[in-house]
A = this chain, B = another copy of it.
Amino acid sequence: MQSRNIVFIARSLDGYIADKNGGLDWLNTTPNPDHQDMGYEKFIKSVDAIVMGRTTFETVCSFDIEWPYKIPVFVLSFSLESLPEDYKDKAEIVKGSLSDILEQIHKKGYRQLYIDGGVTVQNFLKEDLIDELIITTIPILLGGGTPLFGELPREMEFEHVESVLYLDALVQDSYRRKR
């Protein structure tokens, strides 16, 4: 099966993934009484490993919840030497250029990769390494914060795959890189 790097992320209508204070409360402004998962379970079953940046890793660790992933997690970090003891069986640090890292991960047999975290997504995009974007738009203007997208050395076209409406409020658009 072909390797694929996939982004699955929520952004505000004005393109932020965290608000001006780094907060994520705005993700839950739409009432969700039945705990609709916005396609997350279906998506997570379609990938076989997760690649995230250190900030995202630390954010997940800071949540007062059980470790949420059942598949291997690779944490991109130049600065971290080792993971906290509690996470050593859950995640693994990877270092090097993105192509080196992908080669390491592919050699371990993981080819359908969930790429997560703002900086990591931007770095993958800079090297044109993202194959699919699944973006859920929350109908709120934050007016500032951490942007999903950043500067790119060149334009990249995508194909529209599908759009799904959740909770009568959130539009989830899937795009595939046109190559």
Return chain B residues, CB-CB under 8 Å to A158: 13, 139-141
Closest-CB distance, A43 to chain B (whole angstroms): 19
Assign chain A's interface to a size class: 35 or more
Return chain B residues, CB-CB under 8 Å to A163: 163, 165, 171
Q: Is the CB of B143 within 8 A of A157?
A: no
Chain A, range 150-177, C-beta contacts under 8 Å to B? 150-160, 163, 165, 168-171, 173, 175
Q: How far is the CA of A170 from the CA of B156 in the complex (A)?
A: 15
Residue in B19, B135, B155 whose CB lies within 8 Å of A155: B19
Q: How far is the CA of A157 from the CA of B142 in the complex (A)?
A: 9
Return chain B residues, CB-CB under 8 Å to A118: none
Stoichiometry, as copies per complex, reads 2
Asked if A110 CB lies within 8 Å of chain B CBs, one says no
Asked if A15 CB lies within 8 Å of chain B CBs, one says yes
Q: Is the CB of B173 within 8 A of A156?
A: no
Return chain B residues, CB-CB under 8 Å to A168: 160
Identify 13 residue pairs between A and B in the complex whose beta-carbon atoms are under 8 Å apart, listed by A's number. A13-B133, A15-B15, A125-B141, A139-B158, A139-B160, A143-B150, A143-B152, A143-B154, A144-B151, A159-B169, A160-B165, A160-B168, A171-B173
Q: Is the CB of B29 within 8 A of A149?
A: no
Closest-CB distance, A29 to chain B (whole angstroms): 6
Q: Is the CB of B26 within 8 A of A149?
A: no
Closest-CB distance, A152 to chain B (whole angstroms): 3
Asked if A131 CB lies within 8 Å of chain B CBs, one says no
